[in-house]
Structure 1
């Protein structure tokens, strides 16, 4: 199968028939073999009933229904598990992403050999309360991750099948799939300017400062896990040792001064004494944190899980 289209759905019963009809037209015009995986993320409207009707009239449409709302990351993760196409394309269900972009995204993956391609909604039809925070967090993510993308959170993306089978998306991590892919070893990440269409049905389910704060926390989490997930002592250890040495050095200096000038020098009356003590305590705690994290890491089920690109003379499995 050439294409798997994964679409998270949350209360989008009005847009689904038109969206699926549009996707079908594009697929037929280009003669692609395809599947459309609609993941109902606990919708409270009639989205699942609409998916069932669409499935009855089009065997290319498949559905997954969550018992309750788990979030976009969970929907994408389950869609990725079910996808069987050589190229996996994700888009939102609100019709702000155009299915006419699919052929070019497919070409970039298959012919230009990108691991993944992220859409860039250069011209957006969103209120300033959504666009300004988005610009800030996209800029921050680009600087931290060293991935030159303008729009990390664009729902319209294309992947090689191996990419989606090698990553896990959870929590609110869908915003940073390019970062997760990079830390998994997929470094050929491209970008394509895509059309951002004005919302035709319903209203946005996302936005606000809370979303931005969660995004920053997720970025910090991904960056830490990507770099130090299998070697946490390399993060906590050096900081703890440096902090401890600073505190110990200052304490030694104070002790020497006390011994040489006992009549005019009182340890407990010097602020530097308490600073030194605090540094030693913090250094010890950080070192022990790294030690405990290392023990947990070495006993975790995924401690020896590594992505292997190719094998020679061995069983591929």
Structure 2
């Protein structure tokens, strides 16, 4: 069995040597055949120089450097594309994920025949107000919306079977929802393991409070994509039909009222129901058009690169 450890990073030069040595020690003590793929997501410090040094010293170390910061999802996508292991591990580069959890996660995966084993940072060493409480709210919403019963969608430490990461497409900011993407692709055996979380040793976190806002927006996006990405007309067409039906109902009411009940009453254009009817019909028509355009896009879209690699090592 070969392992691929995929590590996206941004400005983590201080932690890379220690992380590499820690991973190498765990891999050697467990007799794993392995590769470590560092993806430098546009760092402005000397992270890439450290990766070059590590790659020169250890052929199991491989590197990818982006021309600029494209985001964690794009970094993971690049790493997944190059990963050659039977099991792929993702983890962060800040030393908060413990490499010693990797053998235990693999053992659980083999024992239970899981497609994915996700880490759960049950005891965290982060700010309670800034991270812990928002994270609990976010994870609760993600469980309810996605149907994937994980406690910690944000944990970077996860283990995947090769066929999972070669099947799914990680784009935008969807790295939090890789288990959901996998579930939508038919990989239903998703497990979870409590893992040791550690306080950040070097530098400062790259994530602010805005990541939770983005997380909730991405949650809405993935809900929509999961249900309607291949059939947008089912959503927009249904909403359009409903709005047009409401507009038509008001128009019929106004017509009957004007012709048979109050023929000498106010002008139709003086009544609020007229504008409700007109607005509902226009919105309904626009929703229908949005559905048709969505169907056209779905049928004609072609893959486009979401990032550009400046150079790579040992790949």
Number of the residue aligned with 1:224: 224
Task: For residues 245-301 of structure 1, give each alpha carbon's deviation from its aligned partner in whole angstroms, at most 9, with x where no partner exists.
Answer: 111012101100100121134322221221111111111111111112112222224
Higher RCO structure, 1 or 2 (CA under 8 Å, sep 6+): 2
Number of the residue aligned with 1:201: 202
Query: Are residue 62 (structure 1) and residue 59 (structure 2) matched?
Result: no
Q: Which moved more, 1:176-185 or 1:150-159?
A: 176-185
Secondary structure of residue in 2 paired with 1:199: coil
Counterparts in 2 of 1:6-17, with a 5 A limit? 6-17=6-17
Secondary structure of residue in 2 paired with 1:117: strand
For the 8 Å contact 1:115–1:163, the answer to whether it is kept is yes
| Residue ranges of structure 2 left out of the alignment (5+ in a row) | 304-315
Secondary structure of residue in 1 paired with 2:112: coil
Secondary structure of residue in 1 paired with 2:287: helix
Task: For residues 224-253 of structure 1, give each alpha carbon's deviation from its aligned partner in whole angstroms, at most 9, with x where no partner exists.
Answer: 122111111111111111111111012101
Alpha-carbon distance in 1 for matches of 2:41, 2:238:
43
Secondary structure of residue in 2 paired with 1:6: strand
CA RMSD after TM alignment: 1.3
Counterparts in 2 of 1:35-46, with a 5 A limit? 35-46=35-46
Alpha-carbon distance in 2 for matches of 1:111, 1:84:
22
Q: What TM-score, normalized by structure 1, do the two folds share? A: 0.92
Number of the residue aligned with 1:269: 270
| Residue ranges of structure 1 left out of the alignment (5+ in a row) | 303-317
Number of the residue aligned with 2:149: 148
Alpha-carbon distance in 2 for matches of 1:264, 1:224:
46
Counterparts in 2 of 1:225-304, with a 5 A limit? 225-260=225-260, 261-301=262-302
Number of the residue aligned with 2:193: 192
For the 8 Å contact 1:43–1:69, the answer to whether it is kept is yes
Task: For residues 199-223 of structure 1, give each alpha carbon's deviation from its aligned partner in whole angstroms, at most 9, with x where no partner exists.
Answer: 1111111121x21221122111112
Secondary structure of residue in 2 paired with 1:166: coil
Alpha-carbon distance in 1 for matches of 2:208, 2:188:
29
Alpha-carbon distance in 2 for matches of 1:236, 1:247:
16
User: How many residues in Structure 1 have an aligned counterpart in Structure 2?
Assistant: 301
Number of the residue aligned with 2:113: 113
For the 8 Å contact 1:87–1:109, the answer to whether it is kept is no
Number of the residue aligned with 2:124: 124
Secondary structure of residue in 2 paired with 1:197: coil
Alpha-carbon distance in 2 for matches of 1:241, 1:235:
10
Secondary structure of residue in 2 paired with 1:102: helix
Alpha-carbon distance in 1 for matches of 2:301, 2:249:
37
